[in-house]
């Protein structure tokens, strides 16, 4: 990434590494799936096609990420267990859960037609994910036993509920009948009332599904004499088992014991509270701006495979922008977003209480929705191109305590956009003019912005060529709600009320203060302290703490010179 004076904002990013010897489990869960299943008329209480679609997605996830050694799922949830020693993305929690949820969401969309050939997908599915760090094998065992018990209990309850409804009871009446009933009562109700032997129900409903990695011999090529050359490969297989947390099940699969360890003894009593104590989603600091930044994974390859125009493909950028619009429409707490290349930053308002500010829920919901929209909308933007690879993104959440720092963050991204775009434009023009890639790289080494502009003018024969490029390439895209006064309220003589009208995509200069002054609704607060501060620092003592005062609004604060943001730092003639 390029250097700029705004780079200090990176120091607000926090590390979230899961330390060894914790076992990493990623749990994913359908978001608003009761609506999704209603809209797509899933069968009640279980829709086998929907479950098999989930299973296929999980299988693809476990093949894509080789460190996932075991997965278990039912209904609209799945848990992915990584091998103990994994160093996947340096064990960083947000990277891991976001990549998995994103990949899963995109695959869900791509595979939909295979399982629901007659049903149009009416809105993008999305999921939430979190990492559960299991401190020991005992915790992992308790977690798996707990999830499988949930599968059984919810399936048994729902089977009864829907039989009662099918036989004339209202939803409320059916719930009333089931209140306080035990396992045995429900089995009897099913057997005596509806002639259903619960134990004979399909295993996929009662027990959920496991995805396991097994070693198989795979022929990679043939020798000259025709004999096969074989290698051991890990293959994902689907299994149903009555008790996935039992020693006998675990010991049947060598790779589980090898990569995770063994269970000391079988669990007799499940203590959900014990397991829940390991599910602590960390919350973002209150009253701070939350930025969720997502970034395409391996988009270098993805753009090559799909033959994106170099250095900028307008359709690819429009597709990203269209997904960002969808994200803003879905999450009303997002006040602004900025995108360039394969990345997008979403800014949530300071007071946002979305998912009680739990970072994993916010990041995963946004990255998941974005990914499934990207996959759904692909055809709209690339009608002639088949989607050959699964597009997926990682995500992270960062808090910025003041508007000034938030704007420095956005300026950092826009400066980066400009620097990269200018470099890439030169690079590809040199390549087109006949230089090899490494010659072009060497040619550009150490060149300043002005030199690059001159080079572009010279190569293209067009004066000030760089500034003739589309604004979207040079400035990136800003996506935000266009606001207007509510005329109805104004006509009634009330104080004018600002109303969201629609989400717009613009290519503006967000480094300049004038943009924010022209759109005071976005941040919803008066900005102060932007201009160089009137300062009393002696020029040689940057470490002294002094009172500094904003030239504009006269607000003062105590600060050390080197703790001020670059925008706040006094210009040299001030010193």
**Contacts with ligand GTP, residue ranges (CB under 6 A):** 295-300, 303, 308-313, 316-317, 341-342
- Residue whose CB is less far from ligand GTP, 86 or 312: 312
- Residue whose CB is less far from Mg ion, 298 or 482: 298
> How far is 372 from 305, CA to CA, in rounded Å?
19
Going by C-alpha positions, the residue among 277, 281, 278 that lies closest to residue 359 is 281
313 binding partner (options ligand GTP, Mg ion, none; Cβ < 5 to 8 Å by kind): ligand GTP
Which CB contacts under 8 angstroms, 24+ apart, belong to 549-555? 552/528, 553/528, 553/529, 555/528, 555/529
Q: Which residues of 103-118 are buried (b: 16+ CB within 10 A; e: fewer)?
A: bbbbbbbbbbeebbee
- 296 binding Mg ion? (CB under 5 A): yes
- Residue whose CB is less far from ligand GTP, 53 or 317: 317
* Residue listed under structure tokens 């009562």: 185
State which residue has the least CB distance to Mg ion.
296
> How far is 309 from 303, CA to CA, in rounded Å?
8
Segment lying near Mg ion (by CB under 5 A), choices 246-254, 294-302, 362-370, 414-422: 294-302
486 binding partner (options Mg ion, ligand GTP, none; Cβ < 5 to 8 Å by kind): none
In the complex, the smallest distance separating the C-beta of residue 566 from ligand GTP, rounded to whole angstroms, is 24
45 binding partner (options ligand GTP, Mg ion, none; Cβ < 5 to 8 Å by kind): none
In the complex, the smallest distance separating the C-beta of residue 296 from ligand GTP, rounded to whole angstroms, is 5
308 binding partner (options Mg ion, ligand GTP, none; Cβ < 5 to 8 Å by kind): ligand GTP
316 binding partner (options Mg ion, ligand GTP, none; Cβ < 5 to 8 Å by kind): ligand GTP
In the complex, the smallest distance separating the C-beta of residue 526 from ligand GTP, rounded to whole angstroms, is 36
Give Cα 535 distance to the centre of its chain. Answer: 42
Segment lying near Mg ion (by CB under 5 A), choices 170-178, 291-299, 374-382, 420-428: 291-299
Percentages helix, strand, coil for the chain, rounded to the nearest 5?
45, 20, 35
DSSP 212-268: EEEEEEEEEEE-TTSPEEEEEEEEEEEE--S-TTSHHHHHT-HHHHHHT---SS---
Structure-block tokens of residue 282: 């960390």
499 binding partner (options Mg ion, ligand GTP, none; Cβ < 5 to 8 Å by kind): none
- Residue whose CB is less far from ligand GTP, 303 or 345: 303
- 299 binding Mg ion? (CB under 5 A): yes
In the complex, the smallest distance separating the C-beta of residue 309 from ligand GTP, rounded to whole angstroms, is 6
Q: Which helix (H) or strand (E) holds 317?
A: helix 314-330
What is the contact mask toward Mg ion in residues 236 to 275, using x (rule: CB under 5 A)? ----------------------------------------
- Residue whose CB is less far from ligand GTP, 27 or 321: 321
Going by C-alpha positions, the residue among 193, 199, 166 that lies closest to residue 181 is 193
In the complex, the smallest distance separating the C-beta of residue 343 from Mg ion, rounded to whole angstroms, is 7
In the complex, the smallest distance separating the C-beta of residue 86 from ligand GTP, rounded to whole angstroms, is 18
- 568 binding Mg ion? (CB under 5 A): no
Number of residues this chain uses to bind Mg ion (CB under 5 A): 4
In the complex, the smallest distance separating the C-beta of residue 536 from Mg ion, rounded to whole angstroms, is 45
- 295 binding Mg ion? (CB under 5 A): yes
Three-point CA angle 510, 513, 516, nearest 5°: 70
In the complex, the smallest distance separating the C-beta of residue 10 from ligand GTP, rounded to whole angstroms, is 15
DSSP 123-170: S---EEEEEEEESSHHHHHHHHHHHHHHHHHHHHHHHHHHHHHHTT--
- 416 binding Mg ion? (CB under 5 A): no
In the complex, the smallest distance separating the C-beta of residue 387 from Mg ion, rounded to whole angstroms, is 17
Q: Which helix (H) or strand (E) holds 171?
A: helix 171-178
DSSP 86: -
- 374 binding Mg ion? (CB under 5 A): no
> How far is 569 from 548, CA to CA, in rounded Å?
10
> How far is 8 from 568, CA to CA, in rounded Å?
13
408 binding partner (options ligand GTP, Mg ion, none; Cβ < 5 to 8 Å by kind): none
Going by C-alpha positions, the residue among 289, 412, 403, 405 that lies closest to residue 343 is 412
In the complex, the smallest distance separating the C-beta of residue 301 from Mg ion, rounded to whole angstroms, is 10
> How far is 66 from 87, CA to CA, in rounded Å?
11
- Residue whose CB is less far from Mg ion, 163 or 342: 342
Three-point CA angle 61, 65, 69, nearest 5°: 90
Positions 322 through 361 that interact with Mg ion (CB under 5 A): 342
Residues that bind Mg ion (CB under 5 A): 295-296, 299, 342
């Amino acid at each position: 990434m390029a250097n700029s004076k705004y780079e200090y904002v990176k120091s607000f990013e926090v590390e979230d590494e899961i330390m060894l010897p914790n076992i990493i489990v990623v749990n994913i869960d359908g978001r608003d799936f009761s609506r999704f299943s209603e809209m797509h008329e899933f069968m009640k209480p279980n829709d086998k096609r929907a479950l098999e679609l989930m299973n296929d997605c999980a299988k693809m996830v476990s093949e894509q990420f080789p460190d996932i050694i075991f997965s278990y799922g039912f209904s609209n949830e799945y848990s992915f267990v990584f091998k103990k020693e994994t160093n996947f993305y340096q064990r960083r929690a947000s990277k891991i859960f976001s990549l998995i949820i994103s990949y899963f969401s995109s695959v869900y969309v791509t595979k939909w037609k295979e399982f629901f050939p007659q049903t149009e997908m009416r809105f993008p599915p999305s999921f939430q994910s979190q990492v559960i760090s299991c401190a020991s094998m005992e915790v992992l065992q308790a977690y798996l036993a707990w999830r499988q018990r949930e599968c059984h209990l919810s399936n048994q309850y729902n089977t009864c509920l829907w039989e009662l409804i099918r036989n004339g009871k209202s939803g409320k009446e059916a719930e009333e009948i089931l209140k306080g009933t035990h396992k045995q009562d429900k089995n009897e109700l099913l057997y005596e009332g509806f002639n259903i032997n619960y134990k004979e129900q399909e295993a996929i409903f009662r027990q959920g599904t496991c995805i396991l990695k097994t070693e198989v011999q795979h022929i990679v090529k043939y020798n000259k004499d025709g004999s096969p050359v074989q290698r051991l490969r890990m293959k994902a297989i689907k299994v149903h088992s009555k008790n996935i947390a039992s020693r006998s099940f675990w010991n049947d699969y060598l790779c589980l014991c090898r990569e995770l360890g063994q269970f000391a003894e079988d669990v007799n009593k499940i203590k959900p509270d014990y397991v829940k104590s390991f599910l602590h989603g960390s919350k973002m600091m209150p009253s701070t701006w939350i930025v969720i930044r997502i970034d395409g994974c391996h988009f270098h390859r993805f753009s090559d495979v799909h033959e994106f125009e170099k250095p900028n493909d307008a359709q690819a950028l429009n597709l990203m922008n269209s997904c960002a619009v969808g994200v803003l429409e879905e999450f009303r707490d997002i006040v602004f977003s900025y995108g360039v290349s394969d990345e997008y930053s979403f800014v949530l308002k300071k007071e946002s209480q979305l998912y009680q500010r739990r970072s994993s829920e916010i990041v995963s919901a946004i990255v998941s929705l974005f990914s499934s929209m990207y996959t759904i909308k692909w055809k709209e933007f690339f009608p002639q191109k088949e989607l050959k690879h699964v597009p997926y993104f990682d995500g992270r959440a960062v808090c910025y305590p003041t508007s000034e720092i938030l704007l420095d963050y956005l300026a950092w991204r826009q400066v980066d956009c400009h620097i990269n775009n200018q470099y890439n434009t030169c690079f590809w023009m040199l390549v087109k003019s006949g230089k090899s890639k490494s010659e072009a790289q060497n040619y550009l080494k150490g060149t300043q912005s002005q030199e690059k502009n001159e080079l572009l003018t010279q190569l293209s024969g067009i004066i000030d060529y760089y500034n003739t490029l589309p604004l979207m390439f040079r400035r990136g895209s800003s996506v935000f709600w266009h606001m207007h006064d509510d005329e109805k309220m104004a006509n009634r003589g009330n104080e004018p009320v600002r109303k969201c009208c629609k989400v717009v995509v613009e290519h503006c200069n967000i480094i300049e203060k004038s943009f924010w002054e022209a759109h005071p609704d976005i941040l919803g607060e008066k900005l102060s302290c932007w201009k160089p501060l009137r300062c009393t620092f002696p020029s040689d003592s940057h470490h002294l703490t002094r009172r500094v005062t904003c030239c504009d609004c006269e607000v003062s604060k105590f600060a050390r010179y080197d703790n001020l943001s670059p925008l706040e730092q006094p210009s040299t003639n001030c010193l």
